[in-house]
Structure 1
Amino acid sequence: MSDDRVGPLASDLQYRGKSLADRAADAVVAYRDGDRGPLAELVPALTPLLWHTVRAQGADQEQAQDVVQGVWLSLVRDLETIRDPRAALQWMLVTAKRSAWRTVRKSREDAGRTRSDEGATQWLAAPAEEVPEALAVRDERDRILWAHVRTLPDRCRRLLGLVSLVDRPDYAVVSRTLGMPVGSIGPTRGRCLAKLRIALTADPEWGVR
């Protein structure tokens, strides 16, 4: 049997049963040790999820392609800043979402400015005097919310962290990412949200927001 036939089979066996999060962590560790193979194999497996995340922010195909490529470049460039390899997947998804949001916002601002010189960008933002207060309230709510999310079981944290990145999460993608059966994602998400709702209801800081 030739090495060409053994190699792919060994690779398939190595990753069988592993979630994308586990594979991303392994790839980061291997890359730091000088082995680029696992990261190269991760690219075609993880790119569809990054693409879905970016497109969910309103990016068109050309923008999505640029953003996804940028995320991979950012990972290699900033790989040493990821202290916990298990956080690599979440880091990439958050980076993709933020980059896509900035790209889409800039595109809309540019389109607004070219549409007319008179009030073309007024629809892009609230009045200046309202923005700081609104942002402060939102940031404080987010702080309280994610503080309670961090107290949930790991399975809940990973699931809620992933599905919160897109408006309509693709359960097939979530299943591959977390290694979770598609049929259990909805019920698990419901139980996790119920636990989170109970914790937030009991928090007096949340009630006054």
Structure 2
Amino acid sequence: MIQIDTRLAKLARDGDRGAFAQLVDMYKDKIYHLAYRMMSNKQEAEDVVQETFLRVFTNLERYDDQQKFSTWIYRIATNLCIDRLRKRKATYSLDAETNESEGTDFYSFMPSNEDTPEKQLILSETQQQIRESIDELPEKYKSIVILRYLQDMSLQEISDVLTMPITTIKTRLHRGREFLRKKLEQSFGPSS
């Protein structure tokens, strides 16, 4: 049985704008959450969502309807995030001299805390530390940890999205978890 998103992708490829709009509705929030987790910045996440759908629209003829549409769109979004993270790391350094009058110090690139005061009270110190630790993961582990634990993808789906062997995914997932464990132990002390 053909999945609805695959059917919609075929219709959109044939010029059905309504089908494409349905695909956007189906995936915009999922892609936003993925991008926000990877980028830790609302504006950049929104940009990734827009660019993802632009790429989907302009490359629909390249979509192989024998593969899951969700795998294809997640691959596009994840690669866009990874590219932006690489550019960000190459461009901005903690040690770089900046011109604060133009608002280009390191702190201006950090995500704003847009939570309401009530949400800030609810957000525990542990949750905040976990989020910060995920943000600090090396990019080769970060995307895999986010796809596995925050997007709830299987190892096979992650392998398909990132076009990597499952053994590599397992290794990087293990190393990512170890990195997180060590970071959290530094913050809270070893668990007993």
The normalised TM-score by structure 2 is 0.49
The normalised TM-score by structure 1 is 0.45
